[in-house]
Amino acid sequence: METAVTKTGTEDKIWGGGNEPLKASYGKMMMWFFILSDALTFSGFLAAYGFSRFKFIDSWPIADEVFNHFPFLHGVDAPMYYVALMTFILIFSSVTMVLAVDAGHHMKQKKVILYMFLTIIGGLIFVGSQAWEWKNFIKGEYGAVETKGGQILQFVDAEGHRVGLKEIAILDTHKERTQHESKLGVWYDKESALPTYTIDEIRAGFAKRKDLLIRTQVLTEEGEKTILSREESLRRLQADAIGIVEGANLVHNEYGTPLFANFFFFITGFHGFHVFSGVIINIIIFINVILGTYERRKNYEMVEKVGLYWHFVDLVWVFVFTFFYLV
């Protein structure tokens, strides 16, 4: 076991490399510098997000309207409650991690096992929550119309409540365009999925329902989206709209500028990947703790090192939470 603990045989030779000015083991110090570099990577992403947001400062999507789902509460507007819950789960798993580190300092194997187990469970719940959040984001809720210039037009009723495409569209039963499948063609090629509604079906439905208005991406002085007059709405839908958007991917995004979706996928995805790898590393150390590796080694510094990584993941989430959901 001596190999796992850094001993260079120079411990008492001050001029022979036995001096440790930072009083930290090699592994722990390198974990700190890895965290530093990873923190700079995340800062790069978040600063790029800030750049894009400043670039589109008067037309950025409003996070409260985008992330307003909560499990088992369908159709209830619950802005931020779910992310707040996710934040708590992650902070709590950080607490159990630091308790595991503390128990490790006192060589209490049983307690380390319990706390590390709770940490892993917390991490898994968090990753699962993020997957659910992604699912809602990709699926979308109301749908919108995209214009020639790539702008997003959303529908609202007279009270300003959002109206979904499915409530507007009048289905054209004589539609000639059908989904092409690989079994139908000569070359066994299939096309990408057709949109649920055509733009003409939306136009027809919009013309019928006199109470509907169009909401653009542009923010007003009060920080709300601009709602066009009925005439202007009809004109824009007729002249500019070219297709419908449902949900979000890297190219189209019903919530607003595609950059918002790109950053959402990239930053929360990269963070989720960190949580996932953190869980994997935690599991490896957890198995080692159960096997008694650190009892034989007579120190639990490995738990401390993965703990550092795990807290870092929590630290990053605190910033992602602020800049994606709050600000």
Partner 1 sequence: MAHDTAHHESNISRIWKVFFLLSVITIVEVILGIIKPPFLIETTLISMKLLNWIFIILTIWKAYYITWAFMHMEGETKGLRRSVVWTAIFLICYLIFILLTEGDYVYEVFKAGHKSWDF
Compute how many residues bind partner 1; rule: CB under 8 A: 71
Residues 268-327 that bind partner 1 (CB under 8 A): 298-301, 304, 307-308, 311-312, 314-315, 318-319, 321-322, 325-327
- The verdict on 57 binding partner 1 (CB under 8 A) reads yes
Which one of 88, 172, 179, 184 is in contact with partner 1 (CB under 8 A)? 88
Residues 153-212 that bind partner 1 (CB under 8 A): none
Cβ 29 vs Cβ 301: under 8 Å: no
Which one of 43, 179, 229, 238 is in contact with partner 1 (CB under 8 A)? 43
Closest CA to 233 of 270, 206, 265, 271: 206
Residue span binding partner 1 (CB under 8 A) among the ranges 29-37, 130-138, 161-169, 227-235:
29-37
- The residue among 164 and 262 lying less far from partner 1, judged by its C-beta, is 262
- The residue among 15 and 33 lying less far from partner 1, judged by its C-beta, is 33
Q: Angle between the 81-105 and 109-139 helix axes, to the nearest 10 degrees?
A: 160
Which one of 4, 95, 125, 204 is in contact with partner 1 (CB under 8 A)? 95
- The verdict on 224 binding partner 1 (CB under 8 A) reads no
Which one of 8, 13, 24, 131 is in contact with partner 1 (CB under 8 A)? 24
- The residue among 205 and 321 lying less far from partner 1, judged by its C-beta, is 321
* Closest distance of CB 147 from partner 1, Å: 6
Which one of 4, 65, 79, 227 is in contact with partner 1 (CB under 8 A)? 79
Q: How far apart are CA 91 and CA 153, in angstroms?
A: 38
- The residue among 12 and 176 lying less far from partner 1, judged by its C-beta, is 12
Residue span binding partner 1 (CB under 8 A) among the ranges 44-52, 156-164, 192-200, 266-274:
44-52
